[in-house]
Chain A
């Protein structure tokens, strides 16, 4: 009896060792894996279907979600690439993550895919943005597929009801805000969580105060003070926002808990998807309230990039070329605002008045309030420094002076 039991045991042990050592469980895929943010999965899938990508190129594609916030995404990708692999063959990259990846040398140069005719489709402003945020040492490591500026959304109906005008300056925001705030609704909110959200709002306000957040100068001081006052002194801004990302704030807005907010353009699609709630008269878009030095909002873009550890680089290039070609760009822009940018072909191809986003983009651009994003070569860590100190100040752990002092120290250490 002992003999039989031990034989079974031995076989089991040997089998497990074999299984583990040979790593028999292989889940490789023959499909091209494209990683996009959660909100972009549906639009991308639909675009591929309607444009018949697989029929035209013979390439099967799996569109999957990548971590939404830059630091988490960077961690995931870095470990993977260091191991000689990548979880995705094509990635949709935001500016934040792109900067760090560019300097690492891990992304494939996309220049060879495009010719001069392609670049003629781009406006001078866009080309400038491409150079700063998408090129490194001459190589094009990412090709933007959209051009997003942040809009100032407000509840037309509620302001009209209370006989209020849309605020045009920071001071008016406070005045109007006090009259708007009730027990159920805050006048103003934004996503103030760390991890790529708070940094955006702080940069936005700091620019309006006339400076660059990474300098840790008077402009940053003014903008942080403004947020702090809105939360604690005027009480028109909820402190719970300190734990919220953009999706949660959007959720608050469509549940009547917030009346005004700065938000990225995917909110246009989002609000319309709330069929029970949405109607045309509820939400209006106004120019950003003017700060001490300006009322600018900055541009950000997402773009396609190919990690050079992918084993399907050629197919990936085909995908990228397809999704950004002059022929397809207008069609994609019509399908989803995720692919909207002021490229000539797109502006000609779509009816500007028909699309809320395009008409607002035009409004902002005509008013000259679109500027470029505050830049830093080690964007990710610099942003983390700003966010951590800003968050500590906004939760009343340190004073503004300490924010400035520590910030300058840490930035210096970073740049050494």
Chain B
């Protein structure tokens, strides 16, 4: 007799296909008006040099970055929702988006906003915020209190955000504009080197999250029941928090602040399929990546040659879809 518990296996194949489809769309769509045939030829190394340049050096790294960043944001969102026991948590609740913004804005002010300087400054800012939040949330040795974590994240984020606004208020208009554009998020800032650096950096942290998947299931029951069922709660919380923070800091450094993916993608999957993290985490990675790539394709092509900030597209496209699914689940169309 089959288990009534929904199996993730059934959803992985469609998700993988969707993932591949998003890559295909990302490659063929864009402001340069290339036909799919030209794209295919460019991929094999032939075709016009301009088309080759656009496909191989512009679109391909963007897509790779989108798959990584989208995947990271969705996975950390899912893990954090379990960690703080709140389905409305998202990666930016840790306060590090505020820290990253502050780092970025200071980099612009000090004139070190190069293609490597900006991400480095944003990363440093994010780490600073994480350290403060971690310190605030540590109680009784090295145990993390989830409620304090949540509040500390909000507070530190607000503080950093206020400082950011302050710096912007006394900056000249070019600096303000630079800052605003970076903060709105985009996948064009780092090339292949950035993609590889991000991949190398995130792999261990993603692995750690995968290891803790079952413990995250237990944690959602509550800290005491989790302990009774064999979870080392303090250790799990610490590991998940550190991994999630490092992942999000890197994602923000590479691509600015892209909202909605980290909140909606895991939540959507929870609504559709359930909360077993062994399946939820990989599924979130796939769906988050595909979603961001599609959003970026739309951002590049909707008002070509103009380019929208990708964070705007993720929200505008994501919110209606999310709202429909939310209503369906609340109005009791549970399987």
The answer to whether A binds B is: no
Residues of B within 8 A of A (CB): none
